[in-house]
Chain A
Amino acid sequence: MMLAAIKERFDYRTALIALALVTIGVISVYSATYDAKAADTFHKQLLFVFLGFITMVGVMFIPFRLLQLISYPAYFLSILMLVAVLLLGRTVSGSTSWFTIGPFRMQPSEFTKITCVLALATFLARSDVSLRRFRDLAIAGGIVLLPVALIMMQPDTGTALIYLGMFFPVLYWAGASQFTLLSIIGPIVAAVAALFGTTLFLIAVVAFGVLLYLSMEHRIAAAAMFSLTVLVGISVQFIYDGLKPYQQKRIATFLDPNTDPLGAGYNILQSKVAIGSGGVFGKGYLHGTQTQLNFIPEQWTDFIFCVPGEEFGFMGSVTVLALFIALFIRGVGLAATVKNRYAGVVAIGVTSILATHTFMNIGMSLGLLPVVGVPLPFLSYGGSALIASMAMVGLLLNLYANRKEY
């Protein structure tokens, strides 16, 4: 009886998945910092895990109504912090995104992601708001673009991209039309395709044109959108040609890391070597030569996925990937289960943030995506990111407990 009551209020599956990922994270950070004169890092991470669990439990028990009530204030507070960090923050690796509090540093942009989702959900949950209206669409875009603009000023492209990865599913979930979604994604796809050459660009344009035609509501709007997309693609090509050689090289390196093994491509290559050399069962815990001999840069932060990949092989990396997928499936499932519109958007938003992080990070480690510094949730070393991730799990647990509320 008691157990059933707990199961009713507590999404233990999601909690267990998060616990498993955090555990793998701790193990991986230990390995990555083992022998690397960074034992301090590991001990700090243990403390962050502790703080993360406290945060998770705390968020889980925030009364549902209170959560909705504080969404806007929290959003504005976090925006203020982003402004403050730009003015007063510490610069690490060329990016001013840190606050120093005693021995710890804090990255407000990690938390703005959450408050941004909350604010967005609050806005979209209003009964008088419809994404079919341009005004409301613009306001929703504004809620997201404000922190993105501030973060781009730090600059921190990776984190800014996370907002886009969150915004698109949220719009979809909240009822934006296919045309709207296409209009947002079209220019982005065209720009990326243009980088890979004219052929791919033309294919993308044709495909986009067909999709646009099928979801067309206004001829003029569609034509305008199509022209805009073509224009973006062409200008990207022109911009690329106008870039300085070293900038072009950077892009070329991303497209084929082997061309510059000791430059920027080095990270991708070493990461692929680490994961690839892991084979089926891995080289054994603490026996990954790439990891232990520090061949992978940023191995306890952005490239942490190499550790399970190298030391536990295919088995290890698939386990990690599968745990993440399970978490996202649960998140989406929860979004469809909750009765409250606000709760649904928050669930989708939070899940999307975690998924975007995960797919960008692992994609980078696997050499599928460019090197942009985003941490892998639960696994990467870093207090702000871990606490933020745990807070998001806390949100999911909170929404589960309150899933029947209207």
Chain B
Amino acid sequence: MPQQDDIEIYGKRRAMYIIITLIFLLYLGRLYQLQLIYRDEYGKKSEENSIRTIPREPVRGTIFDRNGTLVVDNRPAFSVTIMPFEFDRKNINYLAQLLSLDPEFVSDRLKKGETYSRFAPIKIKRDIDFKTLAALEENRGRLPGVDYQVESKRFYTTNAHASHVLGYTKEISEAQIKILGEDYAPGDVVGSSGLEADYETTLRGRKGAELTVVNVRGQVIGRFEGGKSDVQAVQGDNLLLSMDFGLQAFAESLMTGRRGAVVAVDPNDGGVLALVSMPDYDLSLFSGVTTPELWRSLNEDEASPLFNRATLTRYPPGSTFKMVLAVAALESGTITPSWRVTCTGAFRYGNKVFKDLHVHGSVDLIEAIQRSCNVYFYQLMLKTGLDPWSHYGAEFGFGRLTGIDIFEENPGILPTQAYMDRRYGKSGWTRGFLPSFGIGQGDVGVTPLQMALYAAALATKGEYNEPHVVHAVVRSNPHSTDTVAPSLRMINVSDATWSAVREGMRRVVEEPGGTGGMARVKGIQSGGKTGTAQNPHGPDHAWYIGFAPFDHPKIAIAVLVENAGFGGSVAAPIAGQCIERYLYGRLIRYDGVPQPATRAAHQPPLHAGMVP
């Protein structure tokens, strides 16, 4: 059976050759397109497939106090993560139960994380305890895509809280990610208050990345290029504070159970030695996971422990403010220190009666400061006028932000002509408003921090240093120390004026009849001023500002105790003990006095053996 004739056959053969060749060319073109034209695109896709970037958290910078004591350290914490593309949604309930989380929270987190990247691990729970970790490890086979990361959490080494200074770190919110940008991912922590927030970029360091090769199930097969392309995490820089945590802890112990603030600064450079706002809270509660319950309890506490009373309040300063007027009166030439007023216990101006606590009789400026005569300052205020007083008030830093490096503060209020016109209308206020200003009442509002700096300026005869908590930033790689440059402003006041005002302050503490005798420290002369500020919220606030040693001051301090009564009996002893603790390194007042062994330096009695 022969085939068809040759011509027909060769025609068909040719047709088939053509078809085969056409298909060959088509496929060749496709290969050319895939492998030569789109090689880079597919190469990238294949890398994305098989190379997984695992972020490596940097170790947050640690914090030291002025004595080199490590006060904020890190401890390892285990965070549970989910790799979305590997995770089986059916396991949500089981995982949630294992971690004692709400399944809806897990599913919500997963959904949000997935929109970010399916190949980036999502943190589900931070800082799990060891039991949970063990349970997780046991069930890992059942939970593909679930893993944990070792992170660091804050660890506070001293018994000082310093909560308002140090601040806390918190898991970053979506809003913050939008602001802070690419370096942050959901689940990261970010400094949210105090130094942690203010020095976030310094403390945080830089994230690293580990490149691993994974198979189709996302199982890690090994390191990409043996780790050559990994990016090392860079540790955050350390902070060296101007603070003395011994003093801080001591001041906190004195303020325990009270509401108020203590601010101590080094008058020579503005370095904050201690900053207490009471009530405070335990920062270590924030170091792991911040539960909503904790938040609620802190936020709803009517004593507002989260609120920094040292920098955010607007207290009337009371009599502690009298030196502003004294300086203004002397510098404006209104009076000389020898100008006298006879105090009858009250001062009538128009139809208003301004009261005094005592009948002081005839007093000069120094005596008026020493004994805190209100009548003297009522009259002096009227004599001096608003403008000089406002001017020197501003010179001492009132009515404006101090520039402290802990994130949040309030400028307070220093009444000026413009302020009064704005507040009450041009004809809405009279000279009758002025006498109150003379004794730090009325519209005047200050923060304890401003008061400490005011005390420091009085201590140094006019050196006004911008306050700072951070003394230096210590960089580890390469090792270098950036010291915070002090920012000094001189208050232009004559020596004679300083002498008179400071003599008044010395007598407040050191001389009989002074209102601040309870601030006295054995062996060290100091200056100070008490204040008892009337306020609309209840009993008077107790104030004390002071500095020591008198001639070569090393500490300036402001103490405020809310609704506690007389500054001389409540605030002054706290200031005195703090000064003693700082200058002697301990309380010498108990030397030779037998006392119960349990009374450690941190918990001394408030009044016992205070004034001999």
Chain A contacts to B: CB under 8 angstroms = 125-127, 169, 172-173, 175, 270, 272-280, 289-290, 293-295, 309, 313-314, 317-318, 321-322, 325, 328-329, 332-333, 335-336, 338-342, 344, 348, 355, 359, 362-363, 366-368, 406
Q: Is the CB of A359 within 8 A of B2?
A: no
Q: Is the CB of B27 within 8 A of A362?
A: yes
Q: What would 7 A/B residue contacts be, using CB atoms closer than 8 Å?
A: A125-B1, A277-B45, A293-B221, A294-B216, A295-B49, A340-B1, A368-B30
Question: Are A332 and B2 CB-contacts (below 8 A) given A325-B20, A359-B23, A366-B34?
Answer: no
Question: Are A355 and B20 CB-contacts (below 8 A) given A172-B12, A338-B3, A341-B3?
Answer: yes
CA distance A339 to B2 in the complex (A): 6
Q: Is B142 an interface residue (CB 8 A)?
A: no
Q: Is B606 an interface residue (CB 8 A)?
A: no
Which A residues touch B3, using CB under 8 A? 338-341, 344
- Other than the given A126-B1, A321-B28, 18 more pairs (CB < 8 A) read A272-B34, A276-B46, A280-B39, A290-B49, A293-B221, A295-B50, A295-B216, A317-B31, A318-B28, A321-B27, A325-B24, A333-B13, A338-B3, A339-B3, A344-B3, A366-B31, A368-B30, A406-B2
Which B residues touch A294, using CB under 8 A? 215-217
Q: Is the CB of A335 within 8 A of B31?
A: no
CB distance from A126 to the nearest CB of B (A): 8
Q: Is the CB of A279 within 8 A of B39?
A: yes
CA distance A317 to B41 in the complex (A): 19
Q: Is B572 an interface residue (CB 8 A)?
A: no
Question: Are A342 and B30 CB-contacts (below 8 A) given A280-B36, A293-B49?
Answer: no
Which A residues touch B16, using CB under 8 A? 169, 332, 348
What number of B residues sit within 8 Å (CB to CB) of A? 40
Q: Is the CB of B2 within 8 A of A341?
A: yes
Question: Are A336 and B221 CB-contacts (below 8 A) given A274-B46, A277-B46, A293-B49?
Answer: no
**In B229-263, which residues have CB < 8 Å from any A CB?**
none
CA distance A406 to B213 in the complex (A): 62
CB distance from B269 to the nearest CB of A (A): 60
Question: Are A275 and B31 CB-contacts (below 8 A) given A289-B213, A336-B9, A338-B3?
Answer: yes
CA distance A325 to B23 in the complex (A): 9
Chain B contacts to A: CB under 8 angstroms = 1-4, 9-10, 12-13, 15-17, 20-21, 23-24, 26-28, 30-32, 34-36, 38-39, 41-43, 45-47, 49-50, 213-217, 221
Which B residues touch A359, using CB under 8 A? 23, 27
Question: Are A406 and B1 CB-contacts (below 8 A) given A272-B42, A295-B49, A328-B20?
Answer: yes
CB distance from B4 to the nearest CB of A (A): 7
Residue in A126, A169, A290, A340 whose CB lies within 8 Å of B46: A290
Residue in A279, A293, A328 whose CB lies within 8 Å of B43: A279
CA distance A194 to B118 in the complex (A): 37
Which A residues touch B17, using CB under 8 A? 329, 332
CA distance A322 to B1 in the complex (A): 34
CA distance A341 to B2 in the complex (A): 5
CB distance from B219 to the nearest CB of A (A): 9
CA distance A328 to B20 in the complex (A): 8
Which B residues touch A277, using CB under 8 A? 39, 42-43, 45-46
Residue in B31, B36, B46 whose CB lies within 8 Å of A273: B46
